[in-house]
A and B are shown apart, each in its own frame.
Chain A
Amino acid sequence: MNRRRLHPFSHVTFTLGFAISALLVATAALSFVYTPQDPLQMSIAGRLQGPSAANWLGTDQFGRDLLSRIMTGAVTSIAVGVIAVGIGMGIGVLLGMVSGYFGGWLDEGFMRLIDAVQGFPAILSALLITAVFKPGIVISMVAIGIAFMPVFARLSRGSFLELRAREFVLAARALGAGDGAVIFRHILPNTLSPLIVQATISFPVAILAEAALSYLGLGTQPPYPSWGLMLKDAQNFLSMNPWYAIFPGGAIAVTVLGLNLLGDGLRDLLDPRVRG
Chain B
Amino acid sequence: MRRFILRRVAALAATLFFVSILVFVVIRVLPGDPALIIMGTEASPEAAARLREAMGLNRPLPVQYAEWIGGALRGDLGRSIQYDVPVGALILSRLPVTFPLTLMAALVMTLTAIPLGIFAATRHRRWGDYLTMILSQLGIAVPAFWAGLLLILLFSVRLGWVQAGGFDGWGQGVLPALKSLLLPAIALGLFQFAVLARTTRSAILEVLREEYVKTARAKGLGEPAVLVKHTFRNAMIPVVTVVGIQLGQLMAGSIILESVFYLPGLGRLALGAISARDLPVVQGVVLFVASMIVMINVAVDILYAFLDPRIRYE
Interface residues of A (CB under 8 A from B): 112-113, 115-124, 127-133, 204, 208, 211-212, 215-218, 231, 234-235, 238-239, 242, 245-246, 249, 252-254, 256-257, 260-261
A132 contact set on B, CB distance < 8 A = 26-27, 30-31, 34, 37, 279
Q: How far does the alpha carbon of A245 sit from the alpha carbon of B150 in the complex, in Å? A: 8
Q: B141 touching A257 by the CB < 8 A rule?
A: yes
Known A131-B37, A252-B146; further 19 A-B contacts with Cβ < 8 A:
A112-B11, A120-B19, A127-B255, A127-B271, A127-B286, A128-B26, A130-B274, A132-B31, A133-B31, A211-B145, A212-B256, A216-B271, A234-B149, A245-B146, A245-B150, A246-B150, A253-B143, A256-B141, A260-B140
B14 at the interface (CB under 8 A from A): yes
A115 contact set on B, CB distance < 8 A = 11, 15, 18, 294, 297
Chain A to chain B contacts (Cβ below 8 Å), 20 pairs: A112-B11, A115-B294, A116-B17, A117-B22, A119-B15, A119-B294, A120-B293, A123-B256, A123-B267, A127-B282, A128-B282, A128-B286, A131-B274, A131-B283, A132-B34, A132-B37, A212-B143, A245-B146, A253-B143, A257-B140
Q: How far does the alpha carbon of A215 sit from the alpha carbon of B256 in the complex, in Å? A: 9
A124 contact set on B, CB distance < 8 A = 252, 255, 286, 289-290, 293
A128 contact set on B, CB distance < 8 A = 23, 26-27, 282-283, 286
| CB contact under 8 A between A119 and B140, given known A113-B18, A249-B149 | no
B157 at the interface (CB under 8 A from A): yes
Q: B26 touching A249 by the CB < 8 A rule?
A: no
B82 at the interface (CB under 8 A from A): no
A211 contact set on B, CB distance < 8 A = 143, 145-146
| CB contact under 8 A between A116 and B274, given known A238-B152, A256-B141, A260-B140 | no
Q: A238 touching B145 by the CB < 8 A rule?
A: no
| CB contact under 8 A between A121 and B137, given known A128-B282, A216-B259, A249-B149 | no
**Residues 30-64 of chain B: 1 if any A CB is under 8 Å from the residue's CB, otherwise 0?**
11001001000000000000000000000000000
> Shortest CB–CB separation between residue A87 and chain B, in angstroms?
16
Size category of the B interface is 35 or more
Q: How far does the alpha carbon of A245 sit from the alpha carbon of B151 in the complex, in Å? A: 11
Query: Which residue of the partner chain B has the closest CB to A234?
Result: B149
B239 at the interface (CB under 8 A from A): no
| CB contact under 8 A between A121 and B252, given known A116-B18, A132-B34 | yes
> Shortest CB–CB separation between residue A216 and chain B, in angstroms?
6
Q: A123 touching B252 by the CB < 8 A rule?
A: yes
Q: B22 touching A116 by the CB < 8 A rule?
A: yes
Q: B271 touching A217 by the CB < 8 A rule?
A: yes
> Shortest CB–CB separation between residue B29 and chain A, in angstroms?
10
Q: How far does the alpha carbon of A129 sit from the alpha carbon of B282 in the complex, in Å? A: 10
| CB contact under 8 A between A253 and B142, given known A127-B282, A131-B279, A215-B256 | yes
B164 contact set on A, CB distance < 8 A = 238
A118 contact set on B, CB distance < 8 A = 293-294, 297
Q: How far does the alpha carbon of A256 sit from the alpha carbon of B291 in the complex, in Å? A: 30
Q: How far does the alpha carbon of A124 sit from the alpha carbon of B252 in the complex, in Å? A: 7
Query: Which residue of the partner chain A has the closest CB to B18?
Result: A116
Q: A131 touching B149 by the CB < 8 A rule?
A: no
B149 contact set on A, CB distance < 8 A = 231, 234-235, 238, 245, 249
B189 contact set on A, CB distance < 8 A = none
* 4 tightest A-B CB contacts, nearest first: A116-B18, A249-B146, A119-B290, A121-B252
B95 contact set on A, CB distance < 8 A = none
| CB contact under 8 A between A257 and B138, given known A127-B274, A130-B274, A131-B274 | yes
Contact of B260 among A121, A133, A235, A239 (CB under 8 A): A235
Q: How far does the alpha carbon of A132 sit from the alpha carbon of B279 in the complex, in Å? A: 8
Query: Which residue of the partner chain B has the closest CB to A131?
Result: B282
Q: A249 touching B143 by the CB < 8 A rule?
A: yes
B197 at the interface (CB under 8 A from A): no
- Of A124, A204, A218, A252, chain B has the most CB atoms within 10 Å of the CB of A124
A120 contact set on B, CB distance < 8 A = 19, 22, 286, 290, 293
> Shortest CB–CB separation between residue B153 and chain A, in angstroms?
5
Contact of A119 among B30, B273, B283, B291 (CB under 8 A): B291
Q: How far does the alpha carbon of A276 sit from the alpha carbon of B253 in the complex, in Å? A: 35
Query: Which residue of the partner chain B has the closest CB to A213?
Result: B256
- Of A112, A132, A208, chain B has the most CB atoms within 10 Å of the CB of A132
Q: How far does the alpha carbon of A211 sit from the alpha carbon of B282 in the complex, in Å? A: 22
